[in-house]
C-alpha cells in the first residue's frame, strides 16, 4: 500500500490557499492616514483645544467605519496631536514635529497667534491646513494650503461693529484688546465697522492674555462715558473684566467675540455676566444644518455637551476627508485641488465651500446675550461673501 502523506500535504496546502484567497482583505490592504493637530491642551485655554479635538475625533471615528479607499487601500485615519500651549514659539516647534510624523494634512491650530507662524512650516512641506484661526492675516499670506473652519474676524468684526452702533444705539465706543493676533485683529475690525456705521472710538486700551486686573484701564474708560465697551480677547480675561466693570459702576454693556461666549465666562463673571453680549461665527447649534444630530452624537461619545468649536472642527475634518475621497488619494498634491473646489453639506451648514483665499464663502454670525446667567441668542446674520 502506497503512503498517502504527500497527497494529504498537497490537499492541505490547497485548502489553506483557497481559504486565504477567499478571506476578506484587511490588514494587508489598510494604510494609516495621519492628520496633524495642534492646539492648547494644557493651561487656561485647554477647554478650547479639547472641544476642538473632540470634534475632530468624532469625524475621524465616523470615517473609519466607512472603509474609505484611498490610493488602492482602505484608509485608517489617525490624529497626531501636540500641545502648542497657545504659544507662537511652541507652535512652530510642534509644527515641525508634526511634519516629521509624515502626516497627510493639518487640522489646526486653534489660535490665530499660533496658526499664522505654524502655517509657513506646513506650507513649506506642501501640507493643506484647515485651522480654527479667525484672524484675516492667516489666509492672506498667499499660500494655497490655508483654509478655515470658521468665519474670519474681518466678517465677524463687521457684524459686531454694525450691531453695536445700530442695534445697541452706541455712538461712543471704547475698545480693549489683549494684543494677541486674535484679540487685536478682531478689535481692529470692530473699530473700523463702528466708524463705518457712524460711531466714534473714544478710547483704545490694551492688556495681555495673562492679565486679570483691569481696574486702571476701566477707570480711564469710565471717565469718558462710553455707550459700549468692546473687548477682543479670551474668557479668562473678559470674565474678571466684566466683574470689575460692575464693581466700578460702569453701566455700558460689554461686547466681545466668540471666546467670551462660553461657560467659563459665566463662571468667572458670576452675577455680573448678565447683559454681556458676545458674537459667534456661525449659527446656534440647533439651527445648524445637522446640529441636533451632531449634538446627540457628541454627547453619546464624550458624555458632555459640545462647546462652541466642536461642530466646526468636525466639519473641518470632514472637509479634508471628503477632498481625499474625491481625489481617491491621501497625497496632498492630489487632494489639495479638490479641497479648494469643495462643495458639501455638513453639520454646520448646507453650503460649505471656499473662496480663492481659503475663507468660507458663507458668512454667518450670531449675537448672544447673557440673561439670567445663560447665553441666549439675540440675532443671526447669514450672507454670502463678495466674489
- How far is Cα 366 from Cα 374, in angstroms, rounded to an integer? 15
- How far is Cα 281 from Cα 315, in angstroms, rounded to an integer? 14
Q: What percent of the chain has pLDDT over 70?
A: 91
**Residue that wins the pLDDT comparison between 252 and 286:** 252
What architecture is domain 154-281+367-384?
3-Layer(aba) Sandwich (3.40)
Please determine, for residue 110, whether its predicted confidence score (pLDDT) is greater than 60: yes
In the prediction, which pLDDT does 383 show?
64
Q: Which three cell numbers stand for residue 348?
A: 454646520
- Give pLDDT tens digits for 49-84: 999 999 999 999 999 999 999 999 999 999 999 999
Residue 85, CB-side half-sphere exposure with 13 Å CA sphere: 8
The model's pTM is 0.80
Are 195 and 166 contacting, i.e. CB atoms less than 8 angstroms apart?
no
- How far is Cα 279 from Cα 251, in angstroms, rounded to an integer? 20
Across the chain, mean pLDDT equals: 92
Burial 135-145 (b: 16+ CB within 10 A, else e): bbbbbeeebeb
Confidence band for 1, pLDDT divided at 50, 70 and 90: very low
In the prediction, which pLDDT does 4 show?
47
Are 94 and 78 contacting, i.e. CB atoms less than 8 angstroms apart?
no
- The phi, psi pair for 10, rounded to 5°, reads -65, -45
Asked if the domains at 30-150+285-354 and 154-281+367-384 fall in one CATH topology, the answer is yes
| Closest CA relative to residue 164, chosen from 154, 152, 172, 155 | 172
**Cβ atoms < 10 Å from Cβ of 154:** 22
State yes or no: cis peptide before 109, omega within 30 of 0.
yes
CATH of the structural domain 30-150+285-354, one choice from 3.40.50.720, 3.40.50.2300, 1.10.3720.10, 3.40.50.10470: 3.40.50.2300
Confidence band for 13, pLDDT divided at 50, 70 and 90: very low
Domain residue spans in the chain? 30-150+285-354, 154-281+367-384
In the prediction, which pLDDT does 154 show?
83
Please determine, for residue 11, whether its predicted confidence score (pLDDT) is greater than 50: no
In the prediction, which pLDDT does 155 show?
82
* Sheet of strand 30-39: strand arrangement: 69-70, 73-83, 30-39, 105-107, 129-131, 146-148
In the prediction, which pLDDT does 151 show?
87
Q: What percent of the chain has pLDDT over 90?
A: 84
Amino acid at each position: 500500500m502506497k503512503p498517502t502523506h504527500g497527497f494529504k500535504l498537497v490537499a492541505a496546502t490547497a485548502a489553506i490557499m483557497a481559504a486565504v484567497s477567499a478571506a476578506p482583505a484587511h490588514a494587508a490592504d489598510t494604510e494609516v492616514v495621519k492628520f496633524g493637530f495642534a492646539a492648547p491642551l494644557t493651561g487656561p485655554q485647554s477647554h478650547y483645544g479639547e472641544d476642538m479635538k473632540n470634534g475632530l475625533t468624532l469625524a475621524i471615528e465616523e470615517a473609519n467605519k466607512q472603509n474609505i479607499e484611498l490610493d488602492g487601500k482602505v484608509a485608517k485615519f489617525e490624529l497626531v496631536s501636540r500641545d502648542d500651549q497657545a504659544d507662537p514659539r511652541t507652535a512652530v516647534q510642534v509644527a515641525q514635529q508634526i511634519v516629521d510624523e509624515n502626516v497627510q494634512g493639518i487640522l489646526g491650530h486653534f489660535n490665530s497667534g499660533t496658526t499664522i507662524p505654524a502655517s509657513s512650516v506646513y506650507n513649506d512641506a506642501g501640507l493643506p491646513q484647515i485651522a480654527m484661526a479667525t484672524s484675516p492675516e492667516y489666509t492672506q499670506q498667499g499660500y494655497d494650503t490655508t483654509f478655515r473652519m470658521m468665519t474670519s474676524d474681518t466678517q465677524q468684526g463687521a457684524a459686531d461693529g454694525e450691531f453695536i452702533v445700530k442695534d445697541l444705539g452706541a455712538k461712543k465706543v471704547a475698545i480693549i484688546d489683549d494684543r494677541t493676533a486674535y484679540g487685536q485683529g478682531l478689535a481692529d475690525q470692530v473699530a473700523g465697522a463702528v466708524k463705518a456705521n457712524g460711531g466714534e472710538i473714544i478710547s483704545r486700551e490694551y492688556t495681555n492674555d495673562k492679565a486679570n486686573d483691569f481696574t486702571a484701564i476701566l477707570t480711564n474708560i469710565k471717565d469718558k462715558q462710553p455707550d459700549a465697551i468692546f473687548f477682543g480677547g479670551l474668557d479668562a480675561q473678559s470674565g474678571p473684566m466684566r466683574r470689575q466693570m460692575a464693581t466700578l459702576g460702569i453701566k455700558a454693556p460689554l461686547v466681545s467675540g466668540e471666546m467670551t461666549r462660553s461657560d467659563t465666562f459665566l463662571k468667572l463673571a458670576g452675577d455680573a455676566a448678565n447683559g454681556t453680549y458676545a458674537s459667534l461665527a456661525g449659527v446656534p447649534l440647533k439651527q445648524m444644518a445637522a446640529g441636533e444630530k451632531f449634538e446627540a452624537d457628541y454627547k453619546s461619545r464624550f458624555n458632555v455637551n459640545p462647546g462652541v468649536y466642536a461642530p466646526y472642527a468636525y466639519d473641518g475634518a470632514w472637509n479634508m476627508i471628503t477632498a481625499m475621497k474625491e481625489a481617491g488619494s491621501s497625497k496632498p498634491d492630489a487632494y489639495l485641488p479638490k479641497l479648494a473646489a469643495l462643495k458639501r453639506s455638513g453639520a454646520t451648514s448646507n453650503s460649505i465651500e471656499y473662496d480663492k483665499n481659503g475663507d468660507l464663502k458663507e458668512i454667518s454670525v450670531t449675537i448672544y446675550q447673557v440673561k439670567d446667567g445663560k447665553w441666549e441668542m439675540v440675532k443671526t446674520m447669514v450672507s454670502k461673501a463678495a466674489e
